[in-house]
Structure 1
Amino acid sequence: MRLPAPAFRESVAPGSMVDVRRSNLALVLGAIAGSDPGLHPTRAQVSAATGLTKASVSSLVLDLLEAGLLRELGLTARGERGRPGVGLALNTLRAVMGMEINVDYIAAGVLDLSGTILFKEVRECDNRGAQPDSVLAELALLAARARSTVGEQGVEVVGGGLAVPGLTGPGRARILAAPNLGWTDVDLDLGALLPEAPLVVSLFNEANAAALAELRHRPGDDADFLFVSGEVGVGGGLVVGGELFTGPAGNAGEVGHVVVDPGGNRCSCGGTGCLETVAGQDAIFAAAGLPPGTGRSAAMRSLLDALAGGNAQARAAVERAGTHLGIAVASTARVMDIGAVVLGGHFAVLDEWLKGPLLAGLARYAPGRVADGDVTVAAAGEWGAVLGAAGSALRSLVDAPYLLQE
């Protein structure tokens, strides 16, 4: 996984020597993490890239090696005079875990520090109205299985992130509201998910986490887009200038609760006619005539079979969802001046039947705002939220490697 190198930090206003060293540790680790794939910079190359002295880099690299964040890869003479240097890379025996709680499943995935996926598993379960502690306990069991599996390969999980379908609080361990789960003002014991891991588990909104994963996996250099995630609910993440835009309270991008049908159905959020009531997973299944209570995967297979077979009710349900999605995206694109849209979750799965009505809705309600070719399917796939939560934990580690020394 290539990560952008942090900006040059040696010239910042001096604080304590500890602060300066912490800053420079992040600078060195970021330079190595941000190297092009397949290239393993030497200490001399890191020195040239960061502006730090060779002696400083050597000392900092030693600390990072002892913390288990770096590994040495033998001699390389690429781009250097004199004796070959030793290449440096992120240690693939250290890893981070991404986890997700959603309405009808829990999931976990492990990425080593290079970004390689070592483990991923999803378990279907109905979490509507379930007690948070019981859901967290089930996820902790899945996380323990993941740690045990990668541990057999000698890999240590040092921290992670959890994605949830709701609004999260500034304390990073509180869910303010997750209507589809029935949770309000819930404090989560995140430490129970990865006991004994040296780094804390961070909490993320599910759509925001998936948007971050998309930013890392997206081809090209487009750094401005609206990510729309289709699950039981509908979430959104705004990426502007290569950064996640979350607004003053951290909860911007709630596309699922843009009103698209003022005379429509009551939404789980308490409003009426939200996009979620038309384009959410349950809404589509019900409109398509699928029996309630069917498992998530089985229901989606049935819907896809019906669509492929030309079932009129199924196609009408998806087309209606696509049209109203177009209305919500049109409104959001005008307000945020966004010209690209990425579809995740079931919107990506249903792309073949949903995109036409979506594009028609955009053309009608925001003509010229979003080109047809700028509406794409998520590059990160259905694991976007898990990958985004793990990737954010990795980014936090690169920005603050000293945390593994304390």
Structure 2
Amino acid sequence: MANTATATASDAATPGSMGDVRRSNLALVLGTVAQSPAGFHLTRAQIAAATGLTKASVSSIVLDLLEAGILHEIGLNPQGERGRPGVGLELNPARGVMGMEINVDYIAAGATSLSGTVVVQEIRERDNRDTASGPVMAALASLAAEVRAAAAAKGMEVLGGGLAVPGLVDAGSATVITAPNLGWVDVKLDVAQLLPGLPLGVTLFNEANAAALAELAHGPHRKQDFLFISGEVGVGGGLVIRSELFTGPEGHAGEVGHIVVDPEGRPCSCGGTGCLETIAGQDAIFAAAGIEGKRQARSESMSALMEALAAEKPDAVLAVQRAGRSLGVAIASTSRVTNIRAVVLGGHFAVLEHWLRPPLVESLSKYAPGKILPENITTAAVGEGGALLGAAGSVVRSLLEAPHRLHS
């Protein structure tokens, strides 16, 4: 890594440049500790060698990070050093962040350590369809307070949070631009009420993008390009290219659920016609299978569908097969445009993989032969908590990139 410890002559003449160098070095040191292998605790001398910073600079920066509560000293580390062992460093396990999610039929909150370990997680079924944002946010604030208290009881202080919602968002203004399945359009959320008084605040995310980030961090695709497809009441997508989330100029790329797969099909909640969501969304599958998903809890509807599939009931089998074929059409179209060669299935697509995979593979071989091999179609490594983990992980990444926010 480049040495950022010394300012150039021109830098020195620029007001505030030394502060910029200090902030850059804080991030460099913290990032180096965060990226160290599990179970390996770098010492100050090892950090200096890895970053090119002087030992004095590293010691000063580490002291700042210790005082801010971001780093924690952990005994002596004899690994890889000659002579007297140094004191190892790690991300402070007593500090954490919270991921939260609002979806059509549930709310959820989970606290994780700065290294991504889930400490507390709660999911509460709740029908949020066509409900004003106020009551939903109030319910989530109550749940978040419970999770925050449970994390505190385990010795963890929550520093900030991320909120994932199933729709297009403007994170800067904490506005949901449109979330058709919630019935929200241009809804500004008071995210501060969810976790009041936290130094890092709360940031808004698209649910599928957050889940894709979790898969990038925790799944086996870290150095690949892949399309993450989230299956809930709606269908969302997160596009990862060169190990980075690609969101497009306005941040809304990856909306796989609204690719048209049946031009003569049913109207979609987005205002279009024949979108993938109208065939492969959770409610669409339940309806086609003869299961009244909107009238009972999500878990009950999914259990009923699984039982019907296991019993090989024709309506259920045909509903899932049609969803798999339509999903293949949407993925084929996406692969032609983006050149992605791997797909990760999340949500109900992962749950239904046994029945969904054959028609999906057949569809891909028909519409995009050779583009995505069957072995490159996998299910989410992080399970149903991907949006929570991704939203929380994004807050950690923002802290690693700008630790001065907490220190100052």
TM-score by length of 2: 0.96
Say yes or no: does 1:155 pair with 2:156: yes
- Deviation of 1:182 (Å): 0.4
* Deviation for aligned residue 1:222: 3.8
Shift of 1:309: 1.1
Q: Deviations over 1:151-175 (max 9, x none)?
A: 1122100001000000011525111
Task: Report the counterpart of residue 402 of structure 1 in structure 2.
Answer: 404
**Equivalent runs, 1:355-374 vs 2, <5 Å:** 355-374=357-376
Q: Is the 8 A contact 1:8 1:27 kept in 2?
A: no
Contact residue 171 and residue 204 of structure 2 kept, 8 A: no
2:312 aligned residue: 310
**1:381 and 2:383 are equivalent in the alignment:** yes
Find the aligned partners of 1:139 and 1:159 in 2 and give their Cα distance. 15
Q: 1:104: which partner in 2? A: 105
- Alignment deviations for residues 352-376 of structure 1 (CA, whole Å, 9 cap, x no partner): 0001111111001000100010000
Q: SS of 1:171's equivalent? A: helix
Residue of structure 2 equivalent to 1:3:
none
2:288, 2:319 within 8 Å by CA — same for their partners in 1? yes
Residue 149 of structure 1 deviates from its aligned partner by 0.4
Alignment of 1:125-274 (within 5 A): 125-169=126-170, 171-219=172-220, 221-274=222-275
2:298 corresponding residue in structure 1: 296
Describe the SS at the equivalent of 1:96: strand
Mapped partners of 1:261, 1:220: distance in 2: 31
Amino acid at match of 2:387: A
Query: 8 Å contact 1:159–1:393 — kept in the other structure?
Result: yes
Q: Aligned-pair distance for 1:223?
A: 2.1
Between 9-18 and 52-61, report the one with greater CA deviation. 9-18
Is the contact made by 2:216 and 2:222 (CA closer than 8 Å) also made in structure 1?
no
The letter for the 2-side match of 1:127 is: N
C-alpha distance 58-392 of structure 1, shift in aligned 2 (>3 A): same
Change (3 A) 1:366 1:348: same
Moved over 4 A (4+): 6-13
Tell me the distance in 2 between the aligned counterparts of 1:7 and 1:326.
Answer: 45
Distance in 1 between the 2:369 and 2:7 partners? 47
Q: What is the identity, as a one-letter code, of the residue corresponding to 2:96?
A: A
Gaps of 5+ in 2: none
Q: What is the CA deviation profile of residues 55-106 of structure 1, one whole-angstrom value per residue up to 9, with x for unaligned ones?
A: 0000000000000001111112211122110000000000000000000000
5+ residue gaps, structure 1: 1-5
* Residues 170 and 250, structure 1, Cα contact 8 Å, conserved in 2: no
Distance in 1, matches of 2:230 and 2:260, equals 16
* Cα displacement (A) at 1:50: 0.7
When residues 10 and 363 of structure 1 are mapped into structure 2, their CA distance, relative to the original with a 3 A threshold, is farther
SS at 2:229's partner residue?
strand
State the Cα distance separating 1:221 from its structure 2 match: 4.4
Question: Is the Cα contact below 8 Å between 1:7 and 1:27 reproduced in 2?
Answer: no
Instruction: Tell me the residue number matched to 1:46.
Output: 47
For residues 295-325 of structure 1, the C-alpha deviation after alignment (integer angstroms, 9 at most, x for no partner) is: 1000000100110111111000000000000
CA contact (8 A) 2:177 2:187 kept: yes
Q: One-letter code of the match for 1:206?
A: E
Q: What SS class does the counterpart of residue 235 from structure 1 fall into?
A: strand
Q: Residues 29-44 of structure 1 correspond to what in structure 2 (within 5 A)?
A: 29-44=30-45
Identify if the C-alpha distance between structure 1 residues 358 and 117 changes in structure 2 by more than 3 Å, giving closer, same or farther: same
- Corresponding residue SS for 2:295: coil
Q: 1:114 Cα shift? A: 2.1
Tell me by how many angstroms 1:18 deviates: 1.4
User: For residues 6 and 247 of structure 2, what CA distance do their matches in structure 1 show?
Assistant: 30
Distance 2:206 2:98 in 1: 16
Cα pair 2:3 2:53 within 8 Å, conserved: no
| Count of aligned residue pairs for this structure pair | 401
Does the CA-based 8 Å contact 2:260-2:274 persist in structure 1? Answer: yes
- Letter of the aligned partner of 2:380 in structure 1? A
Write the distance in 1 (CA, Å) between the matches of 2:115 and 2:360: 37
Deviation at 1:211, TM superposition (A): 0.2
Distance 2:2 2:45 in 1: 18
**Compared with structure 1, are the counterparts of its residues 288 and 38 closer, same or farther at alpha carbon in structure 2 (3 Å cutoff)?**
same
Q: Distance in 2 between matches of 1:74 and 1:298?
A: 50
Q: More displaced, 11-20 or 31-40?
A: 11-20
**What value does the CA root-mean-square deviation take over the aligned residues?**
1.3
Once the two structures are TM-superposed, the CA of residue 11 in structure 1 deviates from its matched residue by 6.6
